[in-house]
Amino acid sequence: MSSPFDRRPLPDYLFSSPLTALLYPLHHLLLRLRGPPRLPSPDAHPIRVVCISDTHTLEWDDIPDGDLLIHAGDLCNDGSIREIQAAVDWLQTLPHPHKVVICGNHDSYFDIRSRRDEDCDASSSSFAAISSSTASIRSIDDDPDGLNRINWGDIHYLQHSSITLSFPRAASSQP
């Protein structure tokens, strides 16, 4: 009597799933022809990504160092522009060379339909943002006193957009 853990005969594989039975050996043949996978050089500098979320206006002291900081939602509690700017100001103090923010459900200022009355610009339903990021949304309306403006500094705010970031390569160890 055979054990359920014994390998099935080849015809069983062929009859139960002909396509899989034919492609499986072909796949392994191609893997052998391709050769070993390419690995990064031993002196390559890996990119260190730090992802945080749900800070809700709290300023954490123990954020690890890294090359890229991603804040994945909920910068603040009530979604006011004042709270968001305070959170952005804190993010700007962190040492990460690249910072990306994606807003969450508590960051209601970025959703025009749920924006608080005191954060609405009487002349416009859009919001103003100043940023060095080309992916940031900028208002076409003037906001001379800057009351309805978030100063992102070097932080990239993503909303229906994408960015390309450049990371420096490790210094070559050649003489």
Which pLDDT score is estimated for 21? 87
CA distances from 23 to 26, 29, 63, 155, 165 (A): 5, 10, 48, 48, 39
**Strands across the sheet with 155-157, in order?**
49-52, 68-72, 98-102, 155-157
pLDDT-based confidence at residue 128 (cuts at 50, 70, 90): very low
Which pLDDT score is estimated for 91? 94
Tell me, what DSSP letter sits at residue 117? G
pLDDT-based confidence at residue 148 (cuts at 50, 70, 90): low
37 token code pair: 């996978």
pLDDT-based confidence at residue 140 (cuts at 50, 70, 90): very low
Which pLDDT score is estimated for 120? 66
Mean pLDDT of all residues in 131-152: 52
Q: What are phi and psi of 52, to 5 degrees?
A: -130, 160
More confident call, 171 vs 79? 79
Q: Does the structure show a pLDDT above 60 at 8?
A: yes
Q: Does the structure show a pLDDT above 50 at 4?
A: yes
